[in-house]
Amino acid sequence: MKKMNSFLFAVLIIAVSTSLFTGCNRQRTLTIYTWAEMFPQEIIDGFESDTGYRINYVNFDYGEVMLSRLESARGGSYDLIIVDDYILETVIERGLAQRLDRSRLSNWNNINPIYQRQFYDPRDEYTVPYGAGVQTIVYDPARVNINISGYADLWDASLRNNLGIVGNHRVINGMALKVLGHSYNTLNLSHIRDAGARLLELAPNIRLIKDDGLDNDILSGEIAAGIMYTDQVTWAVMANPNLRVVFPSEGIGFGIMAGFIPSNAPNADAAYAFLDYILDARRGAECFEYLGYYSTNSAADNYISPEFREFLTLPQGFNIDMEMIMNVSDEADEEHSRIWDAFRLATGR
């Protein structure tokens, strides 16, 4: 064998060292893909300090965007993804999530069974719940002249140009379906069209359609009433206890967020470590107090501060009809999209 040139030998050593260093860094990185601000900074810092992993936090705005990117990456690129239930169903059906090894999650039994065995993962093979919520009505009795007890009251003429709603078309179209006595998930196109006609009658009352900041809008007086997500309700009522929260008498939409490890995650070990870290009871309480959604960790409930507890756990004796919003047929989904476009056009929002 020829003797290697000393310069070339030095270059080779540097290259190999760099490669090993880069590989080591990559191995110690956890890439989380979810919405912005899902974890308190203390949890991220604590995990990095305790485990030596570095968190690479990547955000999306909509679950559909996540799904498209995950498909393009063929189930790779990300180590842990947290998204809504209906997207999870599609992820699992398309083979983009790997089956969990529960033996690697020592805190698995801390999960509240209420939030397990749902339609998207009936045997809890792929997902770990992280927060749940319902769409509720919040209103300021000082600025509203009627007693609101259900969705139907939002059509009252006294609320003209005074109502804010979230921008989720299945939630809002579903509200009209519930007023008419139908399921959120009906496949009956006639029922969906009837709900669309009913929804158009609500247009004069709409001031805002947006997913973020409705809690600030009711606190500032921009709106007098709103249909909000659980976290927005939490922040609004904690800031102004005089606001009234209504679980609509017609029934409410119920949703769960959950984490999964993609089928070709670069670092599944890191994902397991983080999932088990946040399933700890005390850390879970810290997460939910920051997140503002219902705790899906029953062991964490006792550690949630008293001022948060009523907002982050389902009320005792809660018996309002709850229905999860699920994927529907292509025909029904197209009808929902058409109705939503017409409604937004009528509101000018």
Q: What is the CATH number of the domain that holds 326?
A: 3.40.190.10
CA distance 170 to 106: 37
Same structural domain, 119 and 262:
yes
- Residue 288 C-beta-side C-alpha neighbours within 13 Å: 34
pLDDT band per the 50, 70, 90 thresholds, residue 132: very high
286 domain residue, yes or no: yes
Using one digit for the tens of pLDDT, what is the confidence trace for 43-54? 999 999 999 999
Query: Which pLDDT score is estimated for 23?
Result: 45
What's the sign of the alpha-carbon dihedral 138, 217, 284, 31?
positive
Assess whether 69 and 146 both reside in one domain: no
- Provide the pLDDT for residue 18: 41
Residues 217 and 289 in one domain: no
Per-residue pLDDT at 6 exceeds 90: no
9 inside domain: no
Q: In the beta sheet, which residues pair with residue 97?
A: 262
Q: At what angle do helices 85-93 and 63-72 cross, to 10 degrees?
A: 20
128's tokens: 């770990």
Q: Are residues 296 and 153 in the same domain?
A: no
Q: At what angle do helices 330-347 and 169-179 cross, to 10 degrees?
A: 90
- Model confidence at 125, pLDDT cuts 50, 70, 90, reads very high
Tokens of 50: 């305790």
Asked if the model's pLDDT at residue 149 lies above 60, the reply is: yes
Q: Provide the domain limits for residue 247.
A: 134-251+320-347
- The span from the CA of 233 to the CA of 222, in Å, is 16
205 has a pLDDT exceeding 70: yes
Whether residue 3 is contained in a domain is answered as: no
Q: pLDDT digit string (tens) for 218-245?
A: 999 999 999 999 999 999 999 999 999 9
Question: What would the DSSP string read from start to end of 161-215?
Answer: T-EEE-S-HHHHHHHHHHHTT--TT---HHHHHHHHHHHHTTGGGEEEE-SS-HH
In a domain, 260, yes or no: yes
pLDDT(106) > 80: yes
Q: What share of the chain is helix, strand, coil (3-state, %, to 5)?
A: 45, 15, 35
Q: State whether 86 and 166 are in the same domain.
A: no
Say whether both 50 and 76 belong to one domain.
yes
Structure tokens at 198: 């009913």
Instruction: For residues 153 and 237, state if they share a domain.
Output: yes
Structure-derived torsion over alpha carbons of residues 296, 302, 304, 306, reported in degrees to the nearest 10: 130
Number of structural domains, the chain? 2
12: its two tokens: 């080779």
Examine residue 105 and state whether it is found in any structural domain, yes or no: yes
pLDDT for 314 beyond 90: no
Same domain assignment for residues 24 and 106 = yes
Report pLDDT digits (tens) over 64-86: 899 999 999 999 999 999 999 99
Burial of 326 by CB count in 10 Å (0-12 exposed, 13-18 middle, 19+ buried)? middle
Instruction: Report the C-alpha gap between 311 and 298 in whole angstroms.
Output: 14
Is residue 226 a contact partner of residue 148, using CB atoms and an 8 Å limit? no
CA distance 303 to 317: 21
Is a pLDDT exceeding 60 seen at residue 315? yes
* Same domain for 102 and 216: no
Spatial CA neighbour of 96 closest among 128, 121, 126, 130: 126
343 & 236 share domain: yes
Residue 27 pLDDT grade (very low, low, confident, very high; cuts 50, 70, 90): low
Is 175 in the same domain as 269?
Answer: no
Q: Do 324 and 277 belong together in one domain? A: no
Q: Which tokens go with 70?
A: 């995950």
Residue 172 domain flag:
yes
pLDDT above 70: percentage of residues in the chain: 91
C-alpha to C-alpha distances, 136 to 62, 112, 126, nearest whole angstrom = 21, 22, 29
pLDDT at residue 61, as a whole number? 87
CA atoms within 13 A on the CB side of 79: 22
Label residue 273 left, alpha or beta by phi (over 0 means left) and psi (-120 to 50 means alpha).
alpha
